[in-house]
């Protein structure tokens, strides 16, 4: 899979969350990764523009900014939405996942067909292969998706930052373990397409991300004021 590959990202909704389409080539099978507010019409238009056939929606985690448009993306195409079982409850009650920062009971449509993700799962969308890695810390069920030199990192790691861990089920220890275990062994040129903000690479974050540098020096608690 080379230059014909389609990887498109769109920043959507009040939370400015990133949603991605990936396919090996135009006119082929496609997958959508995350589905923020108003994702439905955007995804429909872009799939049609490339003649793509949607086969699945993969959700990095269950926070509202990443699942808001899940039903609007998955159901019209008749495809399943996949999420780790530890975050499954967030689809039905997104407000509960935000704890004291939540907005009470939130009414967001749940996809008709919801299936489980597990660490090590592999999906094939025609010639596009995606590997699932379970990376808890931001949420208990957070997962990232890896394909051909690209890491769809959700809210695990961003350009110059890391995911927050102050929501219910969050854990800084688990988040940093996930980064060390999954992200840092990757080659420097692996692109990081995160849940918020611009694209970066593993090498850039290894060299410049203040949280990774502090962790390597054993000074992360001091940086965070813990």
DSSP per-residue letters across 203-220: HHHHHH-HHHHHHHTT-H
Element (H, E) at 147: strand 143-147
Q: What is the pLDDT of residue 1?
A: 47
pLDDT band at 47 (very low <50, low <70, confident <90, very high): very high
Exposure b/e, 106-121, CB count within 10 A at least 16 = b: eebebbeebeebeeeb
Is 93 part of any domain?
yes
Least confident among 40-44, 94-98, 221-225: 94-98
Instruction: Find the CATH number of the domain harbouring 43.
Output: 3.60.15.10
Q: How many domains does the chain have?
A: 1
Q: What is the pLDDT of residue 2?
A: 58
Q: What is the pLDDT of residue 193?
A: 98
What is the rounded average pLDDT of the residues 164-175? 94
Is 96 part of any domain?
yes
- C-beta of residue 192 within 8 angstroms of C-beta of residue 161: no
Residue 101 has pLDDT above 60, yes or no: no
Residue 144 has pLDDT above 60, yes or no: yes
Q: Tell me whether residue 100 is exposed, middle or buried, using C-beta atoms within 10 angstroms of its C-beta: 0 to 12, 13 to 18, 19 or more.
A: exposed
Is 1 part of any domain?
no
Is 211 part of any domain?
yes
- Residue range of the domain that includes 216: 6-223
- Output the pTM of the full model: 0.94
Is 164 part of any domain?
yes
Q: Please give the mean pLDDT across all residues of the chain.
A: 94
Q: Specify which residues 143 forms β-bridges with.
A: 134
Q: What is the pLDDT of residue 99?
A: 67
pLDDT band at 94 (very low <50, low <70, confident <90, very high): confident
């Amino acid at each position: 899979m080379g230059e014909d590959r389609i990887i498109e990202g769109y920043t959507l909704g009040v939370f400015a969350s990133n949603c991605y389409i990936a396919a090996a080539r135009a006119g082929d099978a496609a997958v959508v990764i995350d589905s923020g507010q108003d994702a439905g019409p955007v995804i429909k238009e872009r799939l049609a523009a490339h003649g793509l056939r949607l086969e699945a929606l993969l959700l990095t985690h269950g926070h509202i900014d990443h699942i808001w448009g899940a039903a609007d993306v998955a159901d019209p195409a008749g495809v399943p939405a996949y999420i780790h079982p530890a975050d499954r409850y967030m689809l039905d009650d997104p407000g509960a996942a935000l704890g004291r920062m939540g907005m009470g009971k939130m009414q967001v449509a749940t996809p008709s067909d919801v299936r489980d993700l597990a660490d090590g799962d592999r999906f094939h969308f025609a010639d596009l292969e995606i590997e699932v890695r379970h990376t808890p810390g931001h949420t208990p069920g957070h997962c990232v998706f890896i394909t051909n030199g690209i890491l769809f990192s959700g809210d695990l790691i961003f350009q110059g930052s890391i995911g927050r861990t102050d929501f219910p089920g969050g854990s800084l220890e688990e988040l940093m373990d996930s980064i060390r275990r999954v992200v840092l062994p990757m080659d420097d040129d692996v692109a990081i397409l995160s849940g918020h903000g611009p694209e970066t690479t593993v090498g850039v974050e290894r060299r410049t991300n203040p949280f990774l540098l502090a962790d390597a020096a054993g000074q992360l608690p001091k940086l965070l004021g813990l």
